[in-house]
Homo-oligomer: A and B are copies of this chain.
Amino acid sequence: MPTTIKDVAARADVSVATVSRVLNGVASVDPAMARRVRAAAKALGYEGNPVARSLRTQKSDLLALIISDIGNPFFTAVARGVEDVAQTAGYSVLLCNSDEDSQKESRYLDIARRSMVAGVLLSPNAGGSDVTALQRANIPVVAIDRALDESIDSVFVDSSEGARSATEHLLEQGWRRPGCITGPREADTAERRARGFREALTQSGTHPSDSLIRYADYRVAGGRAATAELLDSPTPPDAFFVANSEMVIGAIEEIRSRGMRIGHDIGLVGFDDTPWAPFVDPPLTVIDQPAYDIGAEATRMLLQRVNRASTDSSNQTSDLARTVLLRTSLIVRGSSLRRL
């Protein structure tokens, strides 16, 4: 006689309804109880009814990708990398835009958990993210762009190395007093990019004054306001390293509105290459991140976790988390050169 749901309920000492909820992936069940049910079902070899099985199967072909700014081409390039790898492996991707808003982010993390996605790719918001509920639900997470904590796999670039090489390049071109516009103080990418900037100045024998650094919001308007502030300061910079491709548009707007000529009166290096950067006047020098590769590599790591989790019901976080650090590259165009 085949095992029935009643046998599982009896062994786990819960109601049939609870077994059904757990095996159908309804997440509102106490985790300890859910574990008991799964263990009982496993011990008895209970497969559930076809509807429940198909529900589980349907739900497990989804990944969630939570990004912090959909308007930033970096993240849409990451998303392309994620989708290509996911699709090849038979997964669909639900994209969520947390907008650097921790409340929105936690709502999306909750939705991902309730939707029983197979795994989550997360670009943590600046203030840090709480993924413990996902971990409890045994849903693997990979952090992209920004580090989360040591227990989570992550893929990002060496931001401070990128910032250092941008700043060294400006100094080599003969700019005397580079300034830095970076992201929000809480974002680890912003802090790392500011650090790389400082390191390059220190190495060149200059004291990296904090008056040359502005923390902005990684958005166009914030980049413009920070550029204005620095240009209005008593000893303004003669060049800028700007830490993402949104803020660099704001910087260009502000510099142009003052009638200053980029590549003559002022030097400029952005972070993140974009399709339009070569056609700006003058063409924009940038630190390029391999955004597509970040997405693709993170998805490969996530799917390894997913596959391991499905063949082995022990906690997926038991083995060591991995961090993959990709390299940036400097693409020199006209905006950083010093033509007198």
Contacts and interface: CB of A to CB of B under 8 A. Distances in A.
Interface string A268-306: 000000111001111000000000000000000000000
A96 B94 contact: yes
Nearest to A107: B92
Given A54-B28, A71-B80, A99-B83, A279 B111 contact: no
Contacts of A252: 279
Contacts of A55: 26, 28
Contacts of A202: none
Given A93-B97, A96-B94, A51 B279 contact: no
Interface in A312-338: none
Contacts of A107: 92
Nearest to A252: B279
A83 B108 CA distance: 13
A36 interface: no
Interface string A105-144: 0011001001100000000000000000000000000000
A88 to B, nearest CB: 12
Contact of A87 (B80, B93, B104): B104
B97 A79 contact: yes
A62 interface: yes
Interface in A56-83: 58-59, 62, 70-71, 73, 76-77, 79-80, 83
A189 B252 CA distance: 33
A97 B111 contact: no
Given A249-B276, A276-B274, A96 B104 contact: no
A102 to B, nearest CB: 14
A86 to B, nearest CB: 11
Interface core residue of A24, A55, A94, A99 (most chain B CB under 10 Å) = A94
Contacts of A93: 96-97
14 contacts: A62-B111, A70-B76, A76-B76, A83-B97, A92-B111, A94-B94, A94-B95, A95-B97, A115-B115, A246-B275, A249-B275, A274-B276, A279-B280, A280-B280
